[in-house]
């Protein structure tokens, strides 16, 4: 009787609470799944942390943004590099485990490089023919910056040839719109990034808001009229900020609206990572490409590459996962709030 009674009670519970029983089953099953999903997520996170620890990832570390101008046989200014110097600049980066990313990728925090590698941003100012030139058949002229960069990348798999070209109306020495758009199209088709450097290379220091926005908007139109996308970043001519630095990032002139996610200076230090609280999108420092001598004994590229090698704990080191921002957990106070969701402290 007891057994029967118990059986009846069970049957009663099942029949009376049909909906209830179903609900209970529905709740119980997802709970199990959720627990499994959670365990999986924890295991995946642990694996990501182990990978980050293994390479001593530091995605709050510093990133050198190198500023190149012309690559020519007989340098005329402190900004020029010979083809040999430029090649050895790049080979030094290969040797030190750097992988180039574009300025647009940098300011957007889209840094997709292998674990243990360091990000570097290569920028080329003033759109001179010494950077990009080709013959009538579209073959790159040897010893131009782009030809050397592609050659070094070809010989060193993994060193991706990413770079940003800050163009002005000089547009690689081309004068007709057809030739100019050919140059921009070539850069785009080969995965290069185009940045705004104002139309006339105007010194924005002390200029009125109207002059500043007109010149920057004209720089954007230069690119968009030739079929390019509106640039994501701007490099300030001479590194000079306008009276209000916001004017360089956002503005409107006539019907042209510009919005830059990052504004680059001339500068003389490596830049904070875009995930760091120290990152100021309105004033990102760059480093002049130059050997360690004279003016450049401390604050140009060779000196900084030496410094970053010696102080490797301060350098940006990737964990290989572009979706996370990995760093030793004691650096947590330096994480920018906007990236909290992607944080992977270890």
- Note the residues at the interface with Zn ion (CB under 5 A): 125-126
State the Cα–Cα distance between residues 163 and 235, nearest whole angstrom. Answer: 13
Tokens of 222: 């230069």
Bridge partner list, 140: 134
Measured from the CB of residue 237, what is the shortest distance to Zn ion in angstroms? 5
Measured from the CB of residue 128, what is the shortest distance to Zn ion in angstroms? 10
Measured from the CB of residue 239, what is the shortest distance to Zn ion in angstroms? 9
DSSP 300-311: SHHHHHHHHHHT
State the Cα–Cα distance between residues 7 and 167, nearest whole angstrom. Answer: 84
Measured from the CB of residue 291, what is the shortest distance to Zn ion in angstroms? 21
In the bound state, the residue with its beta carbon closest to Zn ion is 125
Tokens of 202: 């105007």
Q: In angstroms, how far is the first alpha carbon of the chain from the final one?
A: 62
Tokens of 241: 């900020």
Q: Which is nearer to Zn ion, 59 or 126 (CB)?
A: 126
Please state whether 156 falls in left (phi above 0), alpha (psi between -120 and 50) or beta.
Answer: beta
Measured from the CB of residue 69, what is the shortest distance to Zn ion in angstroms? 7
Q: Which is nearer to Zn ion, 126 or 319 (CB)?
A: 126
Q: Max Cα separation, the chain?
A: 107
Give the up-direction half-sphere exposure of residue 342: CA atoms within 13 A in the CB hemisphere. Answer: 20
Measured from the CB of residue 198, what is the shortest distance to Zn ion in angstroms? 9
Measured from the CB of residue 102, what is the shortest distance to Zn ion in angstroms? 18
Give the up-direction half-sphere exposure of residue 122: CA atoms within 13 A in the CB hemisphere. Answer: 21
Q: How many CB atoms lie within 10 A of CB 94?
A: 15
State the Cα–Cα distance between residues 37 and 18, nearest whole angstrom. Answer: 29
């Amino acid at each position: 009787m007891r057994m029967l009674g118990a059986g009846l009670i069970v049957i009663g519970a099942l029949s009376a609470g049909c909906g209830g029983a179903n609900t209970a089953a529905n709740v119980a099953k997802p709970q199990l799944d959720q627990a499994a999903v959670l365990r999986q997520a924890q295991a995946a996170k642990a694996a990501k942390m182990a990978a980050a620890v293994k390479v001593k990832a530091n995605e709050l570390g510093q990133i050198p943004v190198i500023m190149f101008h012309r690559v020519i046989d007989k340098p005329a200014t402190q900004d020029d590099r010979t083809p040999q110097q430029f090649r050895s600049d790049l080979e030094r980066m290969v040797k030190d485990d750097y992988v180039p990313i574009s300025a647009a990728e940098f300011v957007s925090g889209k840094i997709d490089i292998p674990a243990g590698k360091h990000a570097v941003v290569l920028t080329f100012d003033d759109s001179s023919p010494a950077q990009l030139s080709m013959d009538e058949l579209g073959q790159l002229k040897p010893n131009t910056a782009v030809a050397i960069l592609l050659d070094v990348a070809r010989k060193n798999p993994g060193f991706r040839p990413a770079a940003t070209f800050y163009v002005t109306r000089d547009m690689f020495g081309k004068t007709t719109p057809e030739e100019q758009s050919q140059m921009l199209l070539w850069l785009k088709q080969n995965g290069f990034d185009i940045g705004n450097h104002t139309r006339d290379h105007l010194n924005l220091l002390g200029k009125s808001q109207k002059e500043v926005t007109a010149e920057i908007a004209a720089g954007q139109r230069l690119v968009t009229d030739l079929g390019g996308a509106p640039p994501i970043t701007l490099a300030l001519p001479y590194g000079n900020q306008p009276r209000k630095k916001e004017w360089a990032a956002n503005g409107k002139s006539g019907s042209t609206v510009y919005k830059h996610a990052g504004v680059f200076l001339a500068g003389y230090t490596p830049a904070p990572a875009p995930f760091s609280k120290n990152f100021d999108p309105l004033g990102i420092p760059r480093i002049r490409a130059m050997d360690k001598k004279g003016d450049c004994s401390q604050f140009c590229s060779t000196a900084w590459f030496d410094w970053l090698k010696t102080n490797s704990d301060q350098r940006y080191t990737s964990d290989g996962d572009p979706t996370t921002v990995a760093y030793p957990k004691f650096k947590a106070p330096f994480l920018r709030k906007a990236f909290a969701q992607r944080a992977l402290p270890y």
